[in-house]
Every structure is written in structure tokens, then in C-alpha cells.
Amino acid sequence: MSMSRFLSAAALALALASIPASGEAQSAVNSSDAPISFGADSGEYVGDTVTLRGRAELIQGQNRLRADSVSGLSQTGESRIQATGNVYFVTPEQTIRGDSAVYTTADDMIVVTGDVILTQGQNVLTGSRLTYNVRTRTARIEAGGQGGRIRGVFYPQNSGN
């Protein structure tokens, strides 16, 4: 497949698997209608799947998904993106780190598994599985294994009094 055909196919497939920007009210500029830019050391397009390998990165609006490998799928109008190896999902407010992730556009949910770390400012939350709603910016974290626990450190906001 020629490089220009690959890039056109990759752009189309990734556009179908758009990553929405976070925010209480999504504007047209920061919504899932925003263009997606991507980069990687290598990539391939097979069937309806685009796979990016080596420092793979997708950027849409103010959100960024980075991993060792990213694969975008589009099946019957529902899209999903799978990321594996050193996964980072970064919004203007939070950074989520894990070993793998699956993002489903139909419900704006990203599920990050493995050694999960969620940071927001100085606040830190850790566990083995995190479900994050990109639209509402809410998270649910779970512990893994027998006797596993979630852990967190939260810093109170200084009210100035």
C-alpha cells in the first residue's frame, strides 16, 4: 500500500474512532468533531483496522492518547480504540497512566487497566482498573487481585482563610 493511501486510510479510520475532548460543555472546537492528528514510528492499515506502533500518539482538541501501540476499530458505526504498553491519556485536568486501555466512542468511556495512576494536580489515585467517562470527567477505580486495595492522596484546597 502506498504511503499516501495509508495516510488517507489511517485518517479516515481514526476519524471514525474519534476521541472526544473533555469539558463540561463541549464546544465545536474541542468536541469530537475536531480533527485528529496522529504520529508513530510505523503503522499499517488492514481491513478496517489502523495500527500505529512505537511512540503512537493521537491528539484531538486538548486530549491526547499515547502508547507503545494504538489500534483503531470501526464496526457498524461503533468505534473503539485499543492502546497497549505505557498508556497515557492526558486531558487539561487529569493524567491517566496504565498498561493498556480501551476507549469506546459510543459511551465516551475509557477503561485503563494494569498499574493505573490517575493524577489531578497534586492529587493521586492508584489501582488496577479505572473506568473514566470523558464527557462527565468522572472516574471509578478498582483494586486488583486478592486483598488488593486502591490508594489515594488528596490535598485539600486552601480557601485562603
Contact 94/52 with Cβ under 8 angstroms?
Answer: no
Residue 86, all three cell numbers = 505505557
Residue 93 one-letter amino acid: E
Q: What topology does CATH give the domain 3-153?
A: lipopolysaccharide transport protein A fold (2.60.450)
Tens place of pLDDT per residue across the chain (161 aa) = 433 333 333 333 333 333 333 333 333 333 455 677 889 999 988 777 788 999 999 887 888 999 999 998 554 445 788 999 999 999 998 999 999 999 887 788 999 999 999 999 999 999 999 999 988 889 999 997 777 899 999 998 875 55
Report the C-alpha gap between 50 and 37 in whole angstroms: 14
- For the chain, the structural domain boundaries read 3-153
Q: Among residues 24, 55, 19, which one has the least CA distance to residue 36? A: 19
Taking the model in full, what pTM does it have?
0.74
